[in-house]
Amino acid sequence: MQLTRIQQIKGTIELKTGLHIGGGDSEMRIGGIDNTVIKNPVSGLPYIPGSSLKGKMRSLLEWRFGLVAATNGKPFSFQHLKSTDTPNARDLLRLFGGAPGSDTDAIANKIGPSRLAFWDCPLNAQWKQNVLGEHTSATEAKTENSIDRIKGVAANGAIRQTERVVAGAQFDFRLSLKVHDDEDLLNIVLEGLKLLEYDSLGGSGSRGYGKISLIDLQVDGEPLQARFDQIQPFASMIGVA
């Protein structure tokens, strides 16, 4: 197995709705926001962690490839190939890797190291200049509550404030894809990114948070957007009973 090149996939993540990726702020403030977003500790600006992209994209691909049932809810790994060994399963492990084990060394060595590296996505400097200007905040506080079904009013203690990055915000997106022996895994990467567009990123996706769009995609400086726009992850399932 030989590393033949490292492809650089770049573009822009544009928020179609407000995004909440938690910042783990444990400090309680009276009258403050209950759930803050993660921010750069120096600039105070929000960013999208590469780990959030990786985790959600991997999960969506595992569901798409029918691998979740074999893992009892855990990430698909090398030992799961014993019961579910398919080309898609092996490609998923090529891209994301898996937990090692002494009884899986042979297949792990054959599949090789994980190919994908996810970068943190900072707030786009041009968007910040054009839209925020001198303001340092790109977030909003969204008030939510739970409704008492009988009384039709907010339930006691159910009102909370969640911080979200505002809709329209843009982030610099970057992935690195290691290529071994001239293999071609780019289409699966694009399929995973398209699933992200179809679904959501961060928390509360079922309530409309975290809808994104990927724009201006390039691979090694060459246009990739047209190819990405044509990706239809479920096209092969149309007409399947």
Q: What are the structural domain ranges in the chain?
A: 3-233
What residue type is assigned to position 209 of the chain? Answer: Y
The 10s digit of each residue's pLDDT in 169-226 is 999 999 999 999 999 999 999 999 999 999 999 988 888 889 999 999 999 999 999 9
Confidence of residue 30 (pLDDT cuts 50, 70, 90): very low
Q: Of 189 and 44, which is predicted with more confidence?
A: 189
Q: Give the C-alpha separation, 80 to 69, whole Å.
A: 10
Rounded to an integer, the average pLDDT of 46-54 is: 94
Supply the pLDDT for residue 31.
Answer: 46
Supply the pLDDT for residue 143.
Answer: 77
Burial 71-103 (b: 16+ CB within 10 A, else e): eeeebbbbbbbeebeeeebebbbbbbbbeeeee
Q: Are 92 and 76 in contact (CB under 8 A)?
A: yes
Supply the pLDDT for residue 24.
Answer: 60
Tell me the percentage of the chain whose pLDDT exceeds 90.
54
pLDDT greater than 50 at residue 28: no
Q: How far is CA 165 from CA 34, 152, 177, 202, in A?
A: 15, 30, 28, 11
Altogether, the residues listed in the chain come to a count of 241
Supply the pLDDT for residue 145.
Answer: 66
Rounded to an integer, the average pLDDT of 112-137 is: 89
Q: Of 240 and 83, which is predicted with more confidence?
A: 83
